[in-house]
A and B are shown apart, each in its own frame.
Chain A
Amino acid sequence: MTPQAIIKANGLSKSFFGNPVLQNVSIALEPGRIHALLGENGAGKSTLINLLSGALAPDGGEIEIDGRSHRRLTPSEARRAGIAVVQQELSLTSDLSIAENIGLGAYPRRFGLIDYKALARKAREVCDLVGLEENLSTPVGDLPLGRRQMVEIAKALFRKPRILVLDEPTSSLSAHEAQTLTRLLQRLRAEGTAILYISHRLNEVMRLCEHVTVLKDGKVTADRSLQGVDAAGLVRLMVGRDPGDLFPHWTPSPERQTIVEVTGFSSGLLRDIDLEIKRGEILGLGGLVGQGQEDLLLGLYGALPASARRAVFNNVAGLPSSVSRANALGLAYVPADRKREGLHLIHSIAWNMMLPDFGKARGLSRRDPAAERKLATELADRLSIKGDLTRQVQALSGGNQQKVALAKWMPADPPILLLNDPTRGVDVETKREIYVLLRRFAAQGKAIVLSSSDTPELVHLCDRVAVMREGGIAALLEREKISEEAIVAAAMGAEAAKVAA
């Protein structure tokens, strides 16, 4: 007989600001099984966890625990039912000790006071499980990131969970710590704990898990046993579409004249790189996260201190020393974190689009509301931003927010666009619209630098791809040499991909 599921979610749906994040998602966790939850960034994994742990209420569907159904699960009900979540972002308090953090919210008491003796005993038990040798009185703020992650796991185990949810637990662990975790999970499985395991490391998933649920754009695309599936099969399940459909047809632009040239460029992580950016091309920046892609964009944009032996921007020698100087040289930058850096969320769409203009206007000059309205409507038309432009930007979906962040630079018609992961968290339809737009810009002779964490995007959209690794350019791939394999190989440091740099 197959074991009964401890927790079952039936047809869960959730939207944020009218933007569906989960649609009709069902999942069942069984005791003694490690269940993998896979999906790309923004597929809805974190939202699903938050629903299962009661941190969010679903818009539709129900959660069934031990056969009892809940329309809305509160965090304390979820805890009582034995659900413990190891969140991706840490929930620890740095001024409290390891033991005090582990017991937080569930302290053993004596006469209303925290029973430190019992706390020490029980905390030591779970610390042994995860291999934490540190003194229990050490403040958590003193620990390196990997150890803190282990404290977080120990904290979840402290409550003796029946259902353990781990959200990318290994992303900050050393190889040794990851091994300890693997052994621990295997033990918990043997003891009958139901485990939901989220990871981007496919071989880990292949090694550890028996069952997989794949989310794609908020929908379940697979819910099956992992038996007989290989890593490539998992990737297909996650991507689930021929990537060709998403991208516009690539045609080379006629104009290929160099517009930016830097040699010996250093900024932030970057050390001594040479780079040429040409009109009419999309230059992709690939590689693992945080290898210097953002430093390159910000350094070129004058937002981060930078130096170069030689630099020419749009026929002017020298690096831009400030953002306004960069704007004057014809550069525009669209940041990755549109909520914090790209947009002013509580202001209207039109207001956001006018912002670069405000920066250029002479101080204390008068605004011209009629002209602003006309311009805003034009921009909205060009980028197909729908609806009332006086709404707050935060009411828009991620994709439309990104279009506003792009639109605001259009009136200045900048010849050089620096884009930092513009399609992160953007729905498929809008992604396609943004791709079409970028290719059109290239055809018009603009130079576009596109940093992206989405490899297919680099492959199908870009004329050249610079793969960054540890603050340098590991490989510069020309159009015919660009492939997912070549980019990943260069990013991981495999030598095969060395092409003329």
Chain B
Amino acid sequence: MSSMIRTGDDRLYWRVQGERNRGLMGLFAVVAAFLALYAYLFPGLLSVAGVSKFAQSWLPLALVAMAQAILMLTGGISLAIGATVSLGAVIAATTMSGYFGVAGGIVAVSASGLVIGALCGVIAIRLRLPAIIVTLAASFIIGGLALLILPRPGGAIPGWFSDLLAGNTPAALVLVFLVALLWKLYLATPLGLSLYAAGENPVGAYRAGVPVDAARIAAYAISGLLSTLAGLFIAAQTGSGDPVIGQAFTLNSIAAAVLGGVGFLGGRGTMRGAIAGSLLLSVMINVMFFLGFPPVAQYVAQGLIIIGAVALPQLTARFRRRP
């Protein structure tokens, strides 16, 4: 039978991308509104320096949100992200001023993230253990490792490298785009796209010939890499390493991913959503700061907004179902 290529079939990739935006329009609108509010409260944002500073405060959260989202897509979760960020920071601070220099430091940080992530993945996936327990245990081990390497804040990042990443340049913004682009590339590979199938319907995916375990372990490795890179950036920002600096990122990464519409049960959500979620969280924190909220009220508001963001789709769905 001769098959007619129908209109749109030839642009399948872009149409698929368009479909993935559909559930996110509301989130994008809210992010835009908060950004506008932020720019209104703080007109300084609309300058190279303003954008650079804001992007620098956002980048680490964006990276860990992606690290968390990729695991949540596979149906897992990580409680070790904060500890991994800390480890990345201390490795960067101890290697970059040493013999191998900045390049050697970047390699060391990346390799440690990949290896640690893959190890967690192998333990959780191969031994069929719950991800939440494995990564909880891993968070103690990794956190301890960071403290062993650098018992108290110290080490150093070469000044020129700090200036390049966290000076008055929008390098952080470029990095966000770069990482997002690399993610798109990964998702265009069979292994990357298999993440969704492995997360939502592992048995069906396995029967269809998807290497389910490999896809999941790769997700853990990538998650570890993103986390240590976030740590590297924070070390560059502060100019030194701090073995407990990552702590807050574990829960914030979950919050950002959830705000971005990534589901807990696997296979639901998008990376662009997670990035938008981290942006929303970052802007929210900044806006509340400018409005003069005391820190405690900021936490409470943050919590309420997250509950609201998760409950809203549920409530609207229930409302719609009612005749």
A: residues with CB less than 8 A from B are 53, 55, 75-76, 79, 85, 87, 90-97, 99-100, 104-107, 109, 112-114, 116-117, 119-121, 124-125, 128-129, 135-139, 155
Contact = CB atoms under 8 A, between A and B. Distances in A.
A85 B209 CA distance: 12
B47 interface: no
A377 B10 CA distance: 70
A109 B19 CA distance: 22
Nearest to A101: B197
Contacts of B201: 91-93
Nearest to B204: A91
Interface residues of B, number: 35
6 contacts: A55-B207, A85-B207, A91-B204, A93-B200, A97-B19, A121-B5
A165 to B, nearest CB: 11
B205 A104 contact: yes
Contacts of A112: 189
Interface string B1-38: 10111101110110110110000000000000000000
Given A93-B200, A97-B15, A104-B210, 9 more contacts: A76-B209, A92-B204, A97-B19, A105-B210, A112-B189, A113-B188, A117-B12, A128-B4, A135-B6
A104 B12 contact: no
Interface in B228-279: 267-269
B4 to A, nearest CB: 8
A124 B8 CA distance: 11
Interface of B: 1, 3-6, 8-10, 12-13, 15-16, 18-19, 185, 188-190, 193-194, 196-197, 200-201, 203-210, 267-269
A42 B197 CA distance: 29
B5 A124 contact: yes
Given A93-B200, A135-B15, A117 B10 contact: yes
Contact of A91 (B9, B16, B18, B207): B207
Given A91-B204, A124-B3, A128-B3, A97 B197 contact: no
A93 B196 contact: yes
Given A99-B12, A114-B193, A124-B6, A90 B1 contact: no
Residue among A79, A114, A155 with the most chain B CB within 10 A? A114
Contacts of B267: 93-95
A90 B208 CA distance: 11
A198 to B, nearest CB: 16
Residue among A93, A112, A135 with the most chain B CB within 10 A? A93
Contacts of B3: 121, 124-125, 128
Contacts of A75: 206-207, 209
A125 B208 CA distance: 19
B13 A116 contact: yes
A34 to B, nearest CB: 20
Contact of A79 (B19, B196, B197, B209): B209
Given A75-B207, A95-B200, A113 B185 contact: yes
Contact of B189 (A90, A113, A121, A137): A113
Contact of B9 (A85, A106, A114, A136): A136
A47 B121 CA distance: 31
Contacts of A91: 201, 203-205, 207-208
Contacts of B193: 96, 100, 104, 107, 114
B8 A105 contact: no
Contacts of B19: 97, 137-139
Contacts of A125: 1, 3
A137 B16 contact: yes
Given A75-B206, A91-B208, A128-B3, A104 B8 contact: no
A76 B210 CA distance: 10
B188 A128 contact: no
A137 B185 CA distance: 18
A137 B18 contact: yes
B210 A114 contact: no
B204 A120 contact: no
B209 A135 contact: no
Nearest to B15: A137
A129 B189 CA distance: 27
A95 B205 contact: no
B42 to A, nearest CB: 37
A155 to B, nearest CB: 7
Contact of B8 (A92, A93, A137): A137
